[in-house]
Amino acid sequence: MQILIRNARIIDPGHPDGPGDVLIVDGRIAAVEAAGTLAADGAERQVVEAQGLWLTPGLIDLHVHFREPGQEYKETILTGSQAAAAGGFTAVCTMPNTDPVNDDPAITALILRQAAAAGLVRVYPVAAISKGLKGEQLCEFGELKAAGAVAVSDDGRPVMNGQLMRRALEYASGFALRVISHCEDLHLAESGAMNEGAVATRMGLSGIPNAAESVMVMRDIALAALTGVSVHIAHVSAAESVAAIRRAKADGINVTAETAPHYFTLTEAAVEGYDTHAKMNPPLRSEADRQAIRQGLADGTLDAIATDHAPHAVSEKEVEFDRAANGIIGLETSLPLGLKLVAEGVLTIETLIERMAIAPARILGLEAGVRVGLPADVTLIDPNKEFTVRAAAMQSKSRNTPFDGWTLKGKAVMTIMDGRIVYRDQG
C-alpha cells in the first residue's frame, strides 16, 4: 500500500516549510521531495492531490476520556477514535477514570484490544496512580507499563495526599512512566460549579477559585524539584498556574503542561443562562485568565494543547446546573479553534503544530514529524475551509459541545495513521 501526497505545504516545526511531495510506503514515510518530483507510477500508488492544503505531523491529544469500559453510552473506544480521526488526530491518551478504573493491567490490555479493533488512531492508555483513584494505594506501575500504559494519572480526581504524589513521581520514574497531574485542591474547590467571581455571585452558583488549581500546581512543581522527576500538569486554566509553571521552567525544574481549547477560547461568561455546556472542571475562567493561557501557549510555558474530550449523554447535561456533569467533547473542534489562534495572531502555524503534535509526542517520549523513516501519521489541513460546527453531525457519540453553531475556518480534511487513510472529509 502506497500513498503519494502531492504538492502539499509541509509544516513540520523545526524543519523547512514549503511545498513538497510525500510518499508513504507500508506505514512509513518513504520519501519527502520537492513538489512535483515524485511520480504517480504504478497502479498501487494512491495519489492525493494536496494543492492548497497543509501537511502536518499527525496531531496527538494527551488527554481524552473514551469512557470504555463502563460508560459506553457516552463514548466507546471506536466512536472516540472516529471523533479523533475526524479532528485530525492520529494518537490519543485515554484517561483512567473508566468503570472499572484502569488500575489493572487487564483493563489496560482491554483498552488496547478495543483500540486495535477500531484501528483508526493510536490509543495510549494512561493508567491510574492509585487503586480505584482513591488516593490510598499505589497501582502496579511496572505491570501497567508492561501492559502498555504510557503514563499514570488519577485524572478526574486530584492526588490530594502530597506524600502519595511524591512517591508516585519517584516510583513512576523507575518504570519510565510519565506522571500527569489533575491539579485541584478539593477543599478549596468545595462543591463549586463554576469560576469564583462576579458572574458566579450574580447567578448564585458556588465558585471555584483559581487558587484551587494553582496551589496544587505549585505543590507539584515543588515535588518535581524535590524528586528530580518531571511532572505534566493537565488542563491548566488559571493565570496563577501559568505564572508558576513559567517560573519553574526558568528555574530549570522539569515540568510540562497542557491547556484545552475552551480555556483559550471561552470565559466564564459562557455560563450565563445556566448553560451546562459551559460547565467543566477546572471551570472556564475570567478574561484575564484566558489571556494568560494564550500568552502561555505563545511563549511555550504551556507545551501542549489537549482537549480533555469528556463525552456525556444529553440526560447528564439537560439538568439543573449544579447537577450537570463536568466536561465537553473537544476532538472535532480542537484544531479549528487552534487555527483561530493562528488567525488572531496569537500563534504561528508552526507553533500551533508544535503544541498539538510535536510537544505531545516529546512528552510521551515519541518522535513526530514528516520525515523519511518516521511512522506515516500525518494530517492534511484545508486552512481555508469554512464550516459550521454541528453537534448532531459529530463522530463522537455525545453532543456536549458549547461550540455548536459556531462558524470556524480551517479543518482536517484527511487523516493518515500508520500509512492508512483513517478519515477523509466528505463535506
| Residues designated as active site | 308
Is 289 a residue that touches another protein (CB under 8 A)?
no
Q: CB nearer to another protein: give 11 or 194.
A: 194
- Residue with smaller CB distance to another protein, 27 or 197: 197
Which alpha helices (DSSP H) does 138-204 contain, by range?
Answer: 141-147, 162-173, 186-189, 198-203
Cβ of residue 216: shortest distance to another protein, in angstroms?
19
> Using the rule CB under 8 A, is 203 a contact of another protein?
yes
Among 124, 321, 403, 423, binds another protein (CB under 8 A): 321
Query: Please, what is the minimum distance in Å from the beta carbon of residue 315 to another protein?
Result: 7
199 counts as binding another protein under rule CB under 8 A: yes
Q: Which amino acid is at 407?
A: T
We find the least distance from the C-beta atom of residue 194 to another protein, in angstroms, to be: 10
20 binds another protein (CB under 8 A): no
Q: Are 152 and 126 in contact (CB under 8 A)?
A: yes
Phi-psi region of 301 (alpha: psi -120 to 50; beta: other; left: phi over 0): alpha
In this chain, which of 315, 392, 426, 427 binds another protein, going by CB under 8 A?
A: 315
Among 204, 228, 300, 405, binds another protein (CB under 8 A): 204
Cell of 220: 507539584
Which one among 37, 51, 137, 201 touches another protein, defined by CB under 8 A?
201
In 3-state terms, what secondary structure has residue 290? helix
Size of the site for another protein (CB under 8 A): 22
Q: List the one residue from 7, 173, 206, 295 that touches another protein (CB under 8 A).
A: 206
**Least distance CB 385 / another protein (angstroms):** 34
Beta strands in 36-85 (DSSP E): 45-49, 54-57, 59-64
Interface with another protein includes 322 (CB under 8 A)? yes
Under 8 Å between Cβ of 4 and 22: yes
φ/ψ (deg, to 5) at 278: -105, 15
Site string for another protein, 223-262 (x = CB under 8 A): ----------------------------------------
Quick note: the x/- pattern for another protein over 151-190, rule CB under 8 A, is ---------------------------------------x
Q: List the one residue out of 269, 270, 264 whose CA is nearest residue 334.
A: 264
- Residues comprising the chain, all counted: 427
| 66/321 with CB nearer another protein | 321
Dig out the grid coordinates for 395 from the structure. Answer: 463522530
Q: How far is the CB of 186 from another protein (least distance, A)?
A: 14
Cell of 47: 495519489
- Report the phi/psi class of residue 228: left, alpha or beta, with left for phi > 0 and alpha for psi in -120 to 50: left
Contacts of 327 (CB under 8 A, 6+ apart): 65, 279, 280, 281, 308, 310, 311, 312, 400
What string marks each residue from 207 to 226 as x (binds another protein by CB under 8 A) or -?
x-------------------
Using CB under 8 A as the binding rule, whether residue 198 contacts another protein is answered as yes
| Binding range to another protein, per CB under 8 A, among 58-66, 146-154, 173-181, 319-327 | 319-327
Cell numbers for 9, please give them: 505545504
Residue 196 in the binding site for another protein (CB under 8 A)? yes
Please say which residue, 195 or 307, places its beta carbon nearer to another protein.
Answer: 195
Beta-strand ranges (E) seen in 311-390 are: 378-388
Best CA proximity match to 7, nearest among 35, 29, 32, 34: 35
Cell digits for 38? 515524485
Q: Which three cell numbers stand for residue 423?
A: 478519515
Indicate the residue among 273 and 427 with the shorter CB distance to another protein.
273
Q: Confirm or reject binding of residue 323 to another protein (CB under 8 A).
A: yes
Q: Of the ranges 29-37, 219-227, 311-319, 400-408, which one interacts with another protein (CB under 8 A)?
A: 311-319
Tell which one of 320, 345, 426, 427 touches another protein (CB under 8 A).
Answer: 320
155 or 196: CB nearest another protein: 196
Of the two residues 80 and 283, which places its CB atom closer to another protein in the complex?
283
Closest CA to 57 of 388, 398, 350: 350
Strand partners, 312: none
179 beta partners: 152, 231
210/187 Cα distance (integer angstroms): 13
Q: Which residues bind another protein (CB under 8 A)?
A: 190, 196-207, 273-274, 315, 318-323
